[in-house]
Structure 1
Amino acid sequence: MLEIRNYILEHRLVEKGDDILVGLSGGPDSVFLLYALDMFKESLGYSLHAVHVHHGIRGEEADRDMKFSEELCNNLEIPFKKVFVDAPKLAGEKGMSLEEAARILRYEAFETTRKEIEDKLTAVTGGQETENSRCLIAVAHHMDDQAETVLHNLVRGSGIRGLSGMEPKRGFIIRPLLSVKREYILSKLKDNGIPYVIDSTNLDTRYTRNHIRSEILPGLREINPEASSHIARTADILREADDFFGRLASMYVDKYAEIRNGEMTGQEGTEISLPVTELKTYPELVRQYVMIELIRRIGTPLKDWGAVHFRDMDKLIHGPGNAHLDLPYKMSADYRKKRLILRINQEIFSIKRRKNNDGASKSSDS
């Protein structure tokens, strides 16, 4: 348990006076996380809460998990909240997998509960935010989960960012268990006689993560028993590389990019441009990070961007010029006068329509 406490301190996951909200499913990982954080709360000086999300699936089994989680928190005298969501409905409406819908709703419930706790803390201090009015969300991802994430992203074709796995802390979310393996968690629960429940869907290998967990990783451990720890360590190295390339790209954009809003260009939207003559001398990886930074600077979410979009932009700047490309979030890219120009448009502006409009403009000018 000392290893977990040291990991929390090393990565500065919590501060004295924080409130920590544990996402409690009732399974072994989240139960262990709850007990571990309950053990450290006095010495590290934080308060503990728990939330359980009922996803509207698995029927009586899900009801059992919710009841178990509530009783566990009552026994430990930890404030507990249960939240009901409808994952099948969201999956049907959005055309996504049930697993993804459940994940989205679960984290929405975590964030809503976190804000409620912060609001109560702020109310106690008379509406003034203090060092004691911050609430963090603790989730139970461990080293084997990290390895699963990296392998999953690897087969999906992710770049450095995807292969860097999960961060110890991102925003209000903390992961105190990334330094320990699943077998460590299970052995501690067994040694201390701590009960937990099992979600039967975690045994269904039709889900990609379950397949990796139950078949791929065990095979890798036959090759090397420390496979999970080596994969997790590689993720740490790649996270450092991702941070380095991100900072390099930020400095490059600071030096060379120009940002103009619609009022300056006489058109709708915002525009950012960058000379590419020098940029084209750098490796493709560096060019991609610069493009990511341009997208971030213009204020566009990166969620739906894939490798194909960056490859298309790279082809654009290596072409003859005077070329156009439509991109996600009503963005467009143009390559003119040796500059890459990204714009946010009010609507998608296809190259065919662009040519027609250019022709119409020339006719009206004449």
Structure 2
Amino acid sequence: MKKDTKMDRQMLDIRNYILSNHLIEKGDEVLVGLSGGPDSVFLLYALNRFKEYLGYKLYAVHVHHGIRGEEADRDMHFSEELCRSWEIPFKKVFVDAPGLAKEKGMSLEEAARILRYEVFEETRKEIEDRFEAEEQGCEKRGRCLIAVAHHMEDQAETVLHNLVRGSGIRGLSGMEPRRGFIIRPLLSVRREYILSKLKEKGISYVIDSTNLDTQYTRNHIRSEILPGLREINPEASAHIAHTADILREADGFFVRLASEYVDKYAELKDPDMIGKTGMEISIPVTELKSYPELVRQYVMIELIKRIGTPLKDWGAVHFRDMDRLIYGPGNAHLDLPYRMSADYRKKHLVLKINQEIISIKRRKSNDGACKSTDS
């Protein structure tokens, strides 16, 4: 890529966003998920511009999902040629999204997403392991991060998607600038700027035709709902994204509050058993019931995290069920995801990881009919 030293205000803002959110540090390595579309091409362009100033190494990986035939081949070849011309190390990986979708009974879109992020993580580890081997004996070892090209409109789409699905504060806070090794340097950038900058610089890109298919919920939001909202207010996407930032701060506050409450009141049966069968955590609920339902939910989420259970398959219905449990007469039982159970006894909520699901029917047959001993 031709040397380009002059930056406009928005490019400087993107660089400052990376710095203020501590997304990349000197000595890191950054792997860009490159589809060949305008967003990921712009991300690669921007990070290539910043790498000398911020002091990191840049790589790119392209995932061919085994769908879209010749169009997907075109995207792969385009991405490879772009990285060759910009002298950025490039890797291409083939996966079978249709095969996974059929095997797991999931949508093709979800299967492609799962496989794509698996490739990102595997490639990230390869780069990091190689980097550590080369740098042994150095005082500071860098990390390898995965950069993805979600921008402001993607953030607005995510919030609206979660809103119509009935999400709570966490879902409405949208995507984080950084989550684990995944960074999103473009969350504050409008897509309009991305397209105008690529045009200004004469940088080509490809278009994935499936992004135009409105049978996918997110595409419907992108192509019909958001444009309608921008007719009401041109700043709709920016306002939604800003609200997500506020809700993310609120989520962080409630997470800290719940953590402090659990630290103070919860009792872990055996810390060495975290995540294993037989692990148990309990907490008194008399004071907990005086808090709003939202706070109780955050405390329950913290209890689940402390016991070592993933949060992926938990929904609002599970927390409502646990809430009803602690307002019940006592000596009650509830089956939960990941072989977990909740019991309300002696004014304590007790969460446990079981060998297998304990149904209420079988529990009654084994232990006899439940009688209330709590008030």
The match for 1:141 is: 150
The one-letter code matched in structure 2 to 1:107 is Y
In structure 2, C-alpha distance between the alignment counterparts of 1:70 and 1:48, rounded to whole Å: 14
Q: What is the CA-CA distance between 1:3 and the residue it aligns to?
A: 1.2
Q: What is the CA-CA distance between 1:122 and the residue it aligns to?
A: 1.2
Structure 1 spans left out of the alignment, 5+ residues: 361-366
Say whether 1:15 aligns with 2:25.
Answer: yes
Structure 2 spans left out of the alignment, 5+ residues: 1-10, 370-375
The one-letter code matched in structure 2 to 1:190 is K
In structure 1, C-alpha distance between the alignment counterparts of 2:271 and 2:182, rounded to whole Å: 36
Match of 2:124 among 114, 122, 133: 114
The one-letter code matched in structure 2 to 1:151 is L
The match for 2:346 is: 337
In structure 1, C-alpha distance between the alignment counterparts of 2:178 and 2:82, rounded to whole Å: 26
Say whether the 8 Å CA contact 2:147–2:183 is kept in structure 1. Answer: yes
In structure 1, C-alpha distance between the alignment counterparts of 2:159 and 2:138, rounded to whole Å: 38
The match for 1:313 is: 322
In structure 2, C-alpha distance between the alignment counterparts of 1:193 and 1:263, rounded to whole Å: 58
TM-score after normalising by structure 1: 0.95
Say whether the 8 Å CA contact 1:122–1:129 is kept in structure 2. Answer: no
Q: Determine helix, strand or coil for the equivalent of 1:49.
A: strand
Q: What is the CA-CA distance between 1:355 and the residue it aligns to?
A: 1.3
Q: Percent identity, aligned pairs only?
A: 82
Say whether the 8 Å CA contact 1:262–1:271 is kept in structure 2. Answer: no
Say whether 1:55 aligns with 2:89.
Answer: no
In structure 2, C-alpha distance between the alignment counterparts of 1:89 and 1:11, rounded to whole Å: 38
Say whether 1:4 aligns with 2:14.
Answer: yes
Deviations 1:265-320 (A, max 9, x none): xx951110000000001000000000000000000000000000000000000011
The match for 2:197 is: 188
In structure 1, C-alpha distance between the alignment counterparts of 2:280 and 2:365, rounded to whole Å: 22
CA pair 263-82 structure 1, distance change in 2 beyond 3 A: closer
CA pair 262-40 structure 1, distance change in 2 beyond 3 A: closer
Say whether the 8 Å CA contact 1:142–1:180 is kept in structure 2. Answer: yes
| Aligned residue pairs, count | 357
Say whether the 8 Å CA contact 2:135–2:141 is kept in structure 1. Answer: no
The one-letter code matched in structure 2 to 1:170 is R
Q: Determine helix, strand or coil for the equivalent of 1:313.
A: helix
The match for 2:3 is: none
Say whether the 8 Å CA contact 2:27–2:141 is kept in structure 1. Answer: yes
Say whether the 8 Å CA contact 2:336–2:342 is kept in structure 1. Answer: yes
The match for 2:177 is: 168
In structure 1, C-alpha distance between the alignment counterparts of 2:113 and 2:277, rounded to whole Å: 36
CA pair 189-240 structure 1, distance change in 2 beyond 3 A: same
The match for 2:238 is: 229
The one-letter code matched in structure 2 to 1:62 is A
Q: What is the CA-CA distance between 1:357 and the residue it aligns to?
A: 1.2
Q: Determine helix, strand or coil for the equivalent of 1:5.
A: helix
Match of 1:291 among 300, 304, 310: 300
Moved over 2 A (4+): 128-133, 261-264
TM-score after normalising by structure 2: 0.93
Range that drifts further, 130-139 or 244-253: 130-139
Say whether 1:158 aligns with 2:167.
Answer: yes
In structure 1, C-alpha distance between the alignment counterparts of 2:332 and 2:31, rounded to whole Å: 50
